[in-house]
Amino acid sequence: MVTGNRLVIPPLHFTEAEAMRQALLQASASLRQSQYDANHDSLTGLPNRNLFYHFVAQQLALYRRNTGEFCILFIDLDGFKAVNDTYGHAAGDQLLRDVSIRIGETCRASDIAARLGGDEFALALAYTGLDQARTLASRLLEQLSAPYPIGTVRATITASIGISHFPGTANDVDTLMRKADHAMYSAKAAGKRCVVWSQRARPLSSKLVPTMDRPAARQPLTSYIISSGGIQPACSLPFRALPQYSGPP
């Protein structure tokens, strides 16, 4: 009912309201930044080990329901320490950023790349079988082995790549990560600049354990299978005997 009385509106203190709004916005931005920093590498901007692990765990839960395939690549840079020691930490940091860019350009939008720490990276390949992962790993190895222009110098490194496969290698995230890491160390023991993939343990009639000198850094790419019987060359690729590796289980 209209009474004709004067309408009285108390002071709204807009200055204080705006200050509160700004404080809430800043707190929200700080929280988002903290969450981002907790899950990403500060140098390259890639997801870190924590986010990569959670992504793999989520993907495995999905693929168990849909009977899909999934592969993990562990990548270790060969020769990075020499670049860091020769040209300095700034050059080393730039090389790591360039490596992250090349990895991102090689993988697909559905995949996730991560920096695990130091000169170790990882890739999670969604809906990918072992043959597809081997093809991508070979292409990635060639990309990472190309020279890196850094200032007035051209730095050269290579990489060792280990692959694990769901469901071919294991059915849980911890074992898949461990087997990919093991395969990567086996690739380094095999002479570096090669790809090794892990298969589910099974008995074999014999082990391939002869030794030989490590190949030259630019020797053509070779791939190997690692299983309970040791490291073996892929049957479709040229034979090369390997030293026995007694690294992580």
- Tell the residue number behind the tokens 């030794």, with chain if given: 211
Give Cβ neighbours of residue 125 (< 8 Å, ≥ 6 apart): 70, 71, 72, 73, 107, 108, 111, 132, 133, 136
Residue 237: is it exposed, middle or buried by C-beta count within 10 angstroms (0-12/13-18/19+)?
middle
- The alpha carbon of 181 is separated from its chain's Cα centroid by a whole number of angstroms, namely 11
Structure tokens at 46: 């890639």
For residue 154, give the nearest of 237, 234, 91 by alpha carbon.
91
Is 85 annotated as catalytic?
no
**Pairwise CA distance, residues 93 & 217, whole Å:** 22
Q: Which of 119, 131, 172, 174 is catalytic?
A: 119
**CA dist 166 → 35, 57, 133, 140 (Å):** 29, 12, 11, 20
Enumerate the active-site residues.
Answer: 119
